[in-house]
């Protein structure tokens, strides 16, 4: 018996897994609700005749739409009707069904009713769906007033609503002098009460899907004389007192918001003004220092620069060397016969073998790679990718960068000034961005003022950056040599490499070509101008250049290993008034809709 129970348990578990994992995955539906238009008509029996039009725009395919109308227990939804506007604007009435295209289902549960509309939707479609129905017992008739308290825009939408309009007709256009109405929702909403027409209109832009809008209105019981939803007590003054209390709270929040907005506007513009003034003064007080020429303005240089490839790339960029510079460094050591780079049996893995052990004493990072990552005599690019090289490589970058100061290529004082200035500019821009973003939610005036000052600050910051640099006269000369040389390599197809220099010359060129990502271009041109026999000695010392894929593979291996290690106002009198916070307890909370 126990064995049978175990078998049944296993089978049950298996079936459960099949049910869970065999279900087709449902992709998220992406859409916007551009407009929601609601019309509610108060009937003499206290019911509401509802029409809701929802305008969708879809960024993806979908199978249909749905809307949920929550109600109180004593209320019912009847006379349901669903229509769809096609692409030509023609109304199509949908029939009740069970999943076929252009049909709908209406189901009831303990909270209310749910429309599920089946309609095939494609990406970029615009769809308008119209729901019509009647809600019974929507109005309460008290002894001294009739009351409608209804969350006319529900707070359970799957997305935000771009624009919402709700119209409530109490008397078919006839005047209702004693009509009063209030709205509860965002404080930025609008309500228009028209007693002369017996109508209330609510509107709101950019309504969050989980907020909703509630209407609370009182009017003469004569308008709902046939209403059976009756309370045998007076309630009008209690309603007005409740709304006065909510209005006071809303106005207090509005006033606080206005005060905060004014203070923020003054403070943010003052801070932005000080930052911009500082940038302006700094620009006008500094004189332009001599700087290296731009590549486009510099002539070709056919001589190998006097600095090594790593120094060359630092001079050109002004930044600490990237992983590619280390590839060039290894290439240069291979050219000097101090190390050997060879491909292993695996095409994407290279071995770096030590030929001159004395070079390790001059370079702690290289020593770390051979003795800690490798076996003391060699290491592979695969071993590099498994090692944690963050700290060691960062120190190598710093040493290479600081060499330019000790070599009098960078001016220490100017570099310190530039570094502190760059940090200041970064901090200032962060502050301005922060002030602008906060201003968007608090004060349009503040955000506009900050934006104008931020653009002015950016203008003078960019102008100031053109004035300053940290190159010495020797550094400018060396940088011009490097940039002219790189320009020549980039334009190598315009020259005959044999006319520029013999193969021994191009051996010295290759580390620079690696440093500046031009190795493939240079090798391609050498293959045009030199015979394969002429190039054989080059490939003895630089086997990574034998095939284009080798160049990319070696550079990518080094880059991956090192990059991973270095790893971005409401009425207070009781009259009809504006939107207020909170809720007056209206039915319909939790209503909303979406798509599937």
Q: Of 8-17, 26-35, 160-169, which one has max mean pLDDT?
A: 160-169
pLDDT at 578 (0 to 100): 53
pTM, 2 dp: 0.50
* Position 332 pLDDT exceeds 60: yes
151 SS3 class? strand
pLDDT digits (tens, 9 = 90+) for 231-283: 999 988 888 887 777 777 767 776 777 788 788 888 888 888 888 888 888 77
Between 446 and 2, where is the model more confident?
A: 446
Tokens of residue 444, six digits:
């349009």
pLDDT at 19 (0 to 100): 40
pLDDT tier at 481 (50, 70, 90 boundaries)?
very high
- The H or E element containing residue 547 is none
At what angle are helices 532-541 and 503-515 packed, to 10 degrees?
50
Which among 315, 370, 368, 312 is positioned nearest to 338, based on CA atoms? Answer: 370
* Position 376 pLDDT exceeds 90: yes
* Position 379 pLDDT exceeds 70: yes
Spell out a b/e string for 127-156, using b for 16 or more CB atoms within 10 Å of the CB, else e.
bbbbbbbbbbbbbbbbeebbbbbbbbbbbb
pLDDT at 98 (0 to 100): 82
Arithmetic mean of pLDDT over the chain: 83
Which among 142, 210, 28, 29 is positioned nearest to 592, based on CA atoms? Answer: 210
**Mean pLDDT over residues 498-523, rounded?**
83
pLDDT at 531 (0 to 100): 80
* Position 454 pLDDT exceeds 90: no
pLDDT digits (tens, 9 = 90+) for 280-303: 887 787 777 788 888 888 999 999
pLDDT at 542 (0 to 100): 60
Distances (CA, A) of 260 to 72, 249, 274: 40, 16, 21
Scan for tokens 């500082």, then name that residue.
Answer: 278
Q: Which residues contact 175 (CB under 8 A, 6 or more apart)?
A: 195, 196, 197, 198
* Position 35 pLDDT exceeds 60: yes
124 SS3 class? coil
DSSP state of 468: -
The answer to which of 207-216, 245-254, 273-282, 443-452 has the lowest mean pLDDT is: 245-254
Count of C-beta atoms within a 10 Å radius of residue 371 = 14
Paired strand residues for 191:
202
* Position 139 pLDDT exceeds 50: yes
Paired strand residues for 57:
32, 126
Scan for tokens 């490798």, then name that residue.
Answer: 374
Between 95 and 589, where is the model more confident?
A: 95
C-alpha 244/C-alpha 41 separation (Å) is 26
Distances (CA, A) of 424 to 72, 268, 318: 61, 18, 18
* Position 204 pLDDT exceeds 80: yes
Per the CB < 8 A criterion, the answer to whether 157 and 592 are in contact is yes
Which among 170, 166, 158 is positioned nearest to 185, based on CA atoms? Answer: 166
How close are the terminal C-alpha atoms of the chain, in Å?
A: 47
Q: Of 84-88, 446-450, 512-516, which one has max mean pLDDT?
A: 512-516
At what angle are helices 503-515 and 323-335 packed, to 10 degrees?
160
pLDDT tier at 507 (50, 70, 90 boundaries)?
confident
């Amino acid at each position: 018996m126990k064995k049978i129970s175990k078998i049944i348990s296993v089978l049950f578990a298996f079936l459960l897994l099949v049910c869970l994992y065999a279900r087709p995955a449902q992709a998220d539906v992406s859409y916007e609700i551009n407009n929601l238009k609601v019309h509610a008509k108060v009937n003499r029996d206290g019911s509401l005749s509802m029409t809701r039009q929802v305008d969708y725009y879809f960024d993806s395919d979908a199978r249909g739409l749905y809307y949920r109308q929550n109600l109180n227990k004593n209320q019912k939804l009847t006379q349901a009707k669903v229509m769809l506007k096609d692409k030509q604007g023609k109304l199509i009435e949908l029939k009740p069904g069970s999943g076929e295209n252009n049909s709908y289902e209406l189901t009831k549960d303990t909270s209310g009713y749910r429309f599920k509309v089946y309609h095939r939707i494609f990406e970029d479609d615009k769809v308008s769906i119209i729901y019509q129905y009647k809600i019974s017992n929507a109005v309460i008739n008290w002894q001294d007033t009739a009351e409608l308290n209804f969350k006319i825009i529900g707070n359970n939408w799957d997305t935000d609503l771009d624009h919402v309009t709700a119209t409530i007709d109490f008397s078919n256009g006839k005047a209702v002098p004693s009509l009063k109405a209030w709205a509860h929702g965002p404080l930025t909403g609008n309500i228009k009460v028209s007693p002369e027409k017996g109508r209330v209109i609510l509107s709101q832009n950019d309504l969050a899907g989980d907020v909703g809008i509630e209407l609370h209105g009182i009017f003469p019981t004569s308008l709902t004389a046939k209403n059976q939803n009756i309370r045998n007590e007076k309630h009008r003054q209690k309603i007005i007192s409740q709304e006065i209390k909510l209005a006071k709270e809303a106005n207090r929040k509005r006033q606080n918001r206005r005060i905060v907005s004014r203070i923020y506007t003054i403070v943010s513009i003052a801070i932005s003004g000080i930052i911009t003034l500082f940038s302006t003064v700094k620009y006008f007080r500094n004189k332009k220092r001599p700087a290296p020429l731009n590549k486009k303005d510099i002539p070709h240089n056919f001589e190998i620069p006097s600095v090594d490839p790593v120094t060359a790339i630092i001079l050109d960029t002004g930044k600490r060397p990237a992983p590619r510079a280390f590839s060039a460094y290894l290439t240069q050591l291979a050219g000097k016969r101090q190390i050997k780079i060879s491909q292993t049996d695996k095409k994407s893995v290279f071995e770096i073998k030590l030929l001159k052990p004395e070079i390790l004493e001059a370079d702690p990072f290289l020593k770390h790679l051979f003795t800690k990552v490798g076996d003391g005599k060699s290491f592979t690019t695969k071993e590099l990718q498994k090692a944690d090289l963050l700290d060691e490589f960062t120190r190598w970058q710093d040493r290479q960068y600081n060499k330019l100061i000790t070599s009098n290529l960078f001016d220490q004082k100017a570099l310190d000034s530039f570094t502190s200035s760059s940090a200041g500019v970064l901090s200032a821009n962060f502050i301005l961005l922060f002030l602008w973003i906060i201003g968007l939610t608090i004060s349009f005036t503040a955000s506009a003022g900050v934006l104008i000052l931020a653009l002015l600050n950016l203008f003078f910051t960019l102008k100031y950056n053109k004035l300053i640099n940290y190159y010495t006269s020797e550094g400018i000369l060396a940088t011009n040599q490097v940039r002219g040389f790189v320009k020549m390599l980039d334009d190598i197809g315009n020259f005959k490499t044999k006319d520029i220099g013999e193969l021994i010359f191009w051996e010295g060129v290759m580390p620079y070509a690696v440093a500046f990502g031009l190795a493939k271009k240079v090798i391609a041109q050498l293959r045009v101008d030199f015979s394969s026999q002429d190039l054989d000695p080059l490939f003895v010392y630089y086997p990574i250049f034998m095939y284009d894929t080798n160049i990319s593979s070696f550079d990518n291996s080094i880059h991956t290993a090192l990059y991973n290690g270095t790893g971005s106002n409401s009425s207070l009198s009781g009259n009809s008034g504006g939107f207020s916070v909170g809720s007056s307890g209206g039915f319909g909370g939790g209503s909303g809709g979406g798509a599937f």
